[in-house]
């Protein structure tokens, strides 16, 4: 299987979303404390297993999905999987903003998550043609 960079907007959007997902995963893998503090889920003092959980749940999932989506960016089912993941992440953030309160960081994260979902889902649903 040959790998080629995208040549159209319909290819660049999911590829870019996958690359950002990989960057988020790398940040969570190598700087879990910073990543968790940014997300507002800093672990308790002296809980080393919290870092392992952050690396496993955040970094592992983001890296796994991001790498597969970057490698197979032109496959509609891969685009749907990446987009659905980010869309439901945004939905969870939205529910949290309604029930737990809003913050500027939370709203910014919500917008970023929606943009990543839209970038992956637009080509899959044919809103952007190749």
* CA-closest candidate to residue 85, choices 42, 129, 27, 25: 25
Of 64 and 53, more confident: 64
pLDDT tens digit string along 87-123? Answer: 999 999 999 999 998 888 889 999 999 999 999 999 9
121 touches 1 (CB < 8 A):
no
Average pLDDT, stretch 30-42? 85
Helices (H) and strands (E) counted in the chain, each on its own, are 6, 0
Unique residue bearing structure tokens 């979902």: 117
| Tokens 């929606």 sit on residue | 114
Q: Would the pTM of this model clear 0.75, i.e. be above it?
A: yes
What average pLDDT does this structure show over 56-61? Answer: 90
């Amino acid at each position: 299987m040959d790998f080629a960079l995208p040549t159209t907007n319909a290819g660049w959007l999911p590829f870019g979303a996958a690359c950002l997902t990989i960057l988020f995963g790398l940040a969570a893998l190598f700087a879990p404390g910073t990543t968790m503090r940014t997300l507002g889920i800093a672990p308790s003092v002296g809980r080393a297993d919290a870092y392992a959980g952050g690396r496993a749940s955040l970094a592992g999932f983001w890296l796994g999905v991001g790498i597969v989506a970057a490698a197979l960016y032109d496959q509609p089912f891969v685009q749907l999987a990446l987009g659905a993941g980010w869309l439901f992440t945004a939905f969870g953030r939205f529910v949290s903003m309604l029930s737990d309160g809003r913050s500027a960081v939370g709203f910014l994260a919500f917008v970023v998550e929606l943009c990543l979902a839209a970038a992956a889902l637009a080509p899959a649903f044919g809103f952007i043609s190749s």
